[in-house]
Amino acid sequence: MRQPAQLLEPFRSQDSGTPPLHTRPSARSGSGCWKHSAYEHAPDSRLGNQPLCSRGNHRGHQPKRTRAGWSDPDPRIERGRNGICCCAAHCVVEDKTEARMITRLLSVNVGLPREITWRGQTVRTAICKDPVHGKRMVRRLNIEGDAQGDLVGHGGEHRAVFVYQIDSYRYWQDELHRVDFTFGQFGENFTVEGLPDTEVCIGDQFRVGGALFEVTQPRVTCYRVGIRMDEPRMAALLVAHGRPGFYFRVLREGEVEASEEIVKVRAGPEGMSVAEINRLLYLPGHPRQDLERALRIPALSPGWRSSFQALLKKELSGSAVKGNPGLTSAGVPPPAWPGFRALRVSKTARESDSVFSLELVPTDGRPLAIALPGQFVVVLLRPQRKEPPLLRSYSLSGPPSTERYRLGIKKESHGAATNYLATQVGVGDILEVSAPRGSFVLQPGDRPIVLISAGIGVTPVLAMLHALAAGPSARQVWWLHGARNGNEHPFAEEARRLIRSPPHCRSHVQYSQPRREDEPGVHFDAAGHLKVALLERLGVGQDADFYLCGPRAFLQDFTEGLASWGVARDRVVAEIFGPGKSNAPGQLQASRHSPHPPGRLPGAGPRVSFARSRLQVSWDPALKSLLELAEACSVAVQWSCRTGVCHTCEIALIAGAVRYNPQPLEPAAEGNVLTCCSCPRGDVILDL
């Protein structure tokens, strides 16, 4: 059996034993069956040596001719009166009384992780799959000989086998003007005839050979499918055109082989197709009734279930907040004002040896927006008139108020901004302040709340404690804080007073280096550092919501420790001061450099400020996106699709405006920006 030469590149398979893809010859070729003119079929061993459809050798299979030209026959009809087609018949059976609807496994494709070079980076990926001969064993997590390169974004029980349709191959050949596709082109394990995304439903079960499968979710596309296809837009195109493909969970392990029939043995509840589920998450419009239907499907994978729960929560709340909480933590109101607002310093106070606070009030008499407990503001400072301004983010630490904001600020020995605020700014001075921002906020609910902080990390969780103390609540509250000693314990007396307000609040404070005058049971509860093991000894439940803030090492220890203890990942929220953590899926050489200007000549475009990274650079029009600029500057940024689909790169736009190319499938939340597909329209300030 030979494979058309034009289908062999760019990822040539060494296996020529798998049926080739079909190409359409000229309508004038005289072939009675244009779909099969490129090769001859082998007999179907299950059906015997009946006359086969090969170069029009039987009478029943003919293409239909219309005024528009030659039409595709019904792709689901296999058997005709005078013969069969082993590809689940791309041929028209004129007498359909004996025809039956069928689907078939055309190719089994596997591949192990490999390292490739992309944009100067080494990427580990298993997106490249090759067809295989004979039977292959399908296990719970993989097909024999297959694996995933990124077990965070791919793989697992609910994503064991990826399925893609030959009909979508034909669609993309036309759409992309390509003739170089081979089986496994889209990274799929099963290339199938039939099973369109518009008809296959989540929860449907299929038998293939000796294995039994269940449909769990559509494909979640990332940038690596764009690498495989040599088409950077591919992640967005798959979603926008409604052809994502889908995943199987393995219900019964067994052997499978190309050419085997795919038999549907059970229909999923609710009858929601893969295409419907895909639209419900990624495209605008998330009807409540559809979200509720989706959540009633037991087979739906945990990741998609969590996304739909977040979307339903937003719908049930009646919130008018824009953005997609199913993709990102965009469930907070838009910023109360764009850019910066002038606020006057009304009070300063020393909170510890290294921490002071500033109280800010409006200059124009207009009330302030009530910040959500845990949010921060960005302050624009101009210590030197001829130098670029400084940008710093500070958490709000006071009670909810329309009259004043309070900032808790830690002195830094070589900090230009904190030294300026501590020595040059006093009562009556004016500061330029952004609206409250951030998604590290206290969430409603009835589960216990555990507020854990160390050092200056006390500021956002102190605002949460204020909110809990201000109103009646039956929720149990735990307050855990770590400091060096009494001299380095900011807001200590204030926190002790607030702890007495909620009826079900318990506290535990640890000093790592207590002084003689620090009394156990009065100023602190124990010496040492806060550890996860302490929570179990105190009687803290694993079913609580955990809010963490403190130094990076502290956050890492607690995040990993809570996961090991059995706390669900979605119950733990952490606030990081300064630049966040990069997420470059699959890349083996993530930058470890501190943020810096790009290693090229300065751009001539607008000024781009990375507020958390304390870096300001000029935009280079040669770049395609703000994401590319951030990467060139080693600024920590998260991303996955790079085409405006997944919203992983969504961050706050503190000031300025952007333009998109391409347009994202669903807009970012108001006041946010998708860095992967946007460029600045003028000076911008990003929360990076």
CATH number, domain of 138, equals: 2.40.33.20
The answer to whether residue 586 is domain-embedded is no
Same structural domain for residues 403 and 525? Answer: no
Same structural domain for residues 421 and 458? Answer: no
- Across the range 160-174, mean pLDDT stands at 97
- In the predicted structure, residue 67 carries a pLDDT above the cut 60: no
Same structural domain for residues 112 and 224? Answer: yes
Same structural domain for residues 154 and 266? Answer: yes
Same structural domain for residues 255 and 151? Answer: yes
d(CA 328, CA 651): 9
What is residue 604's predicted lDDT score, i.e. its pLDDT? 79
From 373, 400, 434, give the residue that closes a domain. 434
Highest mean pLDDT among 96-105, 142-151, 533-542, 572-581: 533-542
What is residue 221's predicted lDDT score, i.e. its pLDDT? 81
pTM for this predicted structure: 0.79
The answer to whether residue 518 is domain-embedded is yes
Owning domain of residue 453 = 449-575
> Mean pLDDT across the chain, nearest whole number?
84
**Which is more confident, 408 or 592?**
408
**621 contacts 681 by C-beta, under 8 angstroms:** no
- In the predicted structure, residue 463 carries a pLDDT above the cut 80: yes
Give 465-496 pLDDT, tens digit per residue. 999 998 777 889 999 999 999 999 999 999 99
CATH of residue 559's domain is 3.40.50.80
Same structural domain for residues 38 and 140? Answer: no
DSSP assignment letter at 667: P
Please provide the DSSP assignment of 381-449 as one string: E-SSTTSPPEEEEEEB-S---SS-EEEEEE--TT-HHHHHHHHH--TT-EEEEEPPB-S--PPPSSS-E
- In the predicted structure, residue 58 carries a pLDDT above the cut 70: no
The answer to whether residue 296 is domain-embedded is no
- In the predicted structure, residue 555 carries a pLDDT above the cut 90: yes
- Across the range 510-521, mean pLDDT stands at 96
Same structural domain for residues 497 and 429? Answer: no
From 66, 101, 136, give the residue that closes a domain. 101
Q: For residue 153, what pLDDT band results from cuts at 50, 70 and 90?
A: low
Same structural domain for residues 354 and 385? Answer: yes
Highest mean pLDDT among 130-144, 568-582, 583-597: 130-144
Residue type, 652: A
- Consecutive H or E run containing 346: strand 340-350
The answer to whether residue 588 is domain-embedded is no
What is residue 151's predicted lDDT score, i.e. its pLDDT? 64
Domains in the chain: how many in total? Answer: 5
3-state DSSP of 157-213: HHHCEEEEEHHHHHHHHHHHCCCCCCCCCCCCCEEEECCCCCCCECCCEEEECCEEE
Same structural domain for residues 430 and 353? Answer: yes
The answer to whether residue 602 is domain-embedded is no
What is residue 332's predicted lDDT score, i.e. its pLDDT? 74
- Across the range 618-645, mean pLDDT stands at 92
CATH of residue 675's domain is 3.10.20.30
Please provide the DSSP assignment of 565-603 as one string: HT--GGGEEEE-SSS---B-TTBS----SPP---SSSPP
- Across the range 107-123, mean pLDDT stands at 87
CATH of residue 373's domain is 2.40.30.10
From 229, 250, 279, give the residue that closes a domain. 279
- In the predicted structure, residue 13 carries a pLDDT above the cut 50: no
Same structural domain for residues 465 and 522? Answer: yes
- In the predicted structure, residue 503 carries a pLDDT above the cut 50: yes
Q: For residue 75, what pLDDT band results from cuts at 50, 70 and 90?
A: very low
pLDDT more than 90, % of the chain: 67
Q: For residue 322, what pLDDT band results from cuts at 50, 70 and 90?
A: confident
Q: For residue 77, what pLDDT band results from cuts at 50, 70 and 90?
A: very low
User: Which of these ranges, 101-105, 220-224, 421-425, has the smallest mean pLDDT?
Assistant: 101-105
